[in-house]
Amino acid sequence: MSELAQLYPWHASHWQQLSGSEDKLANFPHALLISGIAGTGKKALAFYLAQTLMCHAPHKDPQTKALHPCQQCRACLLFTSGNHPDLQYLTTAEDKKIINVDRVRELIQWTVLSSQLQRKKVVIIEPADAMNQNAANSLLKTLEEPVPNTVLLLVSNKKQSLLPTIRSRCQTIDIGLPEPAMARQWLEQQGVNESALMLALSSGAPLKARQLAQEEAQAIRKEVLEILLQVADNRIDPVSGADVLFKLTAVKKTKTAKYKLTASAFDIIYWLDSVITDLARLSQIELSAGAEQFISNIDYQQDLQQLSNRLYLKKLMQLSDSVNKAYYEIQGSINLNLLFEKLLIDWKNCLK
C-alpha cells in the first residue's frame, strides 16, 4: 500500500493546512472531503494522511514544522504492508460503478469497534460520489454522530454530486491544479518527454498527463486524429474510418495483428471529445498566434486551425453533444461500430 500513500510537490500548501502542527493532527476533523479534478493525486494524499494520523511517532519537518509518517513504527510498517487493522478503504468493486448500502453498513459496524493499535482509526471512501442514495444516507448517520477517534476521508472528483447533507458535515479541502512550471518539472523528473503537450492534453492534471504520456495512449490519440483528418479530406469515407476505430477496440494485441493497439471505447470517445473541443475553441476565438494556450492537441495546431476555418460551428456543437452522450452510451450494450459510424458521418457533415 506504500506506493498509494504519496505527497506530491503541489500538495505542499494543503499539507501545511492538514498537518502543519501537532495540534492540527490531534484535533483533526472527524470527516474530511478531499475534492478536486482527476489526476491531481487526491487518493495518494488521502492515504498519506491516513498513515500520518495512525503513525505512533510522526516526524517533524524541521523547515515547515509539518508532520509526516515516521515509516518505522509498527503502525507505519503495518500500513506499508497493507495490513493495518485500523484502516478501511472502501471503493467500487472492479465490475461495479457504485458503492452500495451493504458495504457502508459493514463499514459503520467496523467503526464502532475499538482501535487495535490504540490510535486513530481511518476510513477512506473513494470515489465518495460512487455511493448510491441509500449508501450515502446510511453514512450520513455516522457523520451526524461521529465515532470518537475515527476519521472519515472522502475523496471525490465530483463534489457537486454528493448529497448536500454529506458535504455540509465534512470539512473540505480542494486540490487545485499545480502551477504549470511545477507540473512540468515533476513530469520531466518522471521521465516524461513533451511535458508541455502532455499537460495540455490532460487540462493541467499531472498524474493524468503521466498516464497519457504512455506510448500506447499517444498512438491511439494519433490514430483518432488521423482518422478525423482523413475523413475531413475525403481520404477515407466515414464508414471505413469507423471500422478502423472499431478494430482498435476489438483487436487483441498479437505480434502478427495489423493493429497492435488496443483501445477502450472510452479512449476513442475521449480523444474525439478532445479534438472537437479544440476545434470549437479555435472556431470561436479570433487568434493567429498563441492558439496553443487554448487547445489541448498543440502538436496538431496547424491542422486543427485549418479545419476550424471549414466548420459549421452549429453542427460541430451538435456533434459535441453527441460525443458527450456517447460517454454514457458506451457504458451500456451498444453497437460500437454503428456509434463510431454515426459520429464520423456527423463529423463529415460539420465541414464545408
- Nearer Cβ to Zn ion, position 53 or 187? 53
Stretch that binds Zn ion, among 75-83, 289-297, 319-327, 336-344 (CB under 5 A): 75-83
- Nearer Cβ to Zn ion, position 90 or 151? 151
> Residue 63 carries which DSSP code?
T
- Nearer Cβ to Zn ion, position 7 or 107? 7
For residue 175, give the 3-state DSSP assignment: strand
Of 334, 56, 325, give the one whose Cα is nearest residue 346. 325
* Closest approach of Zn ion to the CB of residue 172, in Å: 27
Regarding 73 and contact with Zn ion (CB under 5 A), the answer is yes
Regarding 70 and contact with Zn ion (CB under 5 A), the answer is yes
- Nearer Cβ to Zn ion, position 41 or 69? 69
Cβ atoms < 10 Å from Cβ of 230: 17
Q: Which residues lie closer than 8 Å to 182 by C-beta, 6 or more apart?
A: 9, 10
Q: Which residues of 119-135 are buried (b: 16+ CB within 10 A; e: fewer)?
A: bbbbbbbbbbbbbeeeb
* Closest approach of Zn ion to the CB of residue 58, in Å: 7
32 DSSP β-pair partners: 153, 171
* Closest approach of Zn ion to the CB of residue 43, in Å: 20
Regarding 122 and contact with Zn ion (CB under 5 A), the answer is no
Stretch that binds Zn ion, among 66-74, 93-101, 295-303, 331-339 (CB under 5 A): 66-74
* Closest approach of Zn ion to the CB of residue 151, in Å: 16
Regarding 117 and contact with Zn ion (CB under 5 A), the answer is no
- Nearer Cβ to Zn ion, position 76 or 135? 76
C-alpha dist (Å) from residue 352 to 95, 264, 312, 313, 348: 44, 31, 7, 10, 9
Interface with Zn ion (CB under 5 A), residue from 34, 55, 131, 272: 55
* Closest approach of Zn ion to the CB of residue 4, in Å: 16
Interface with Zn ion (CB under 5 A), residue from 76, 130, 248, 280: 76
Q: Where in 2-41 is the site for Zn ion (CB under 5 A)?
A: none
Report strand pairing: 59-60 vs 67-68: antiparallel
Burial (CB count within 10 angstroms: exposed 0-12, middle 13-18, buried 19+), residue 46:
buried
Size of the site for Zn ion (CB under 5 A): 5
- Structural element, H or E, at residue 124: strand 121-125
* Closest approach of Zn ion to the CB of residue 231, in Å: 57
For residue 150, give the 3-state DSSP assignment: strand
Burial (CB count within 10 angstroms: exposed 0-12, middle 13-18, buried 19+), residue 309:
exposed
| Contact footprint for Zn ion (CB under 5 A) | 55, 69-70, 73, 76
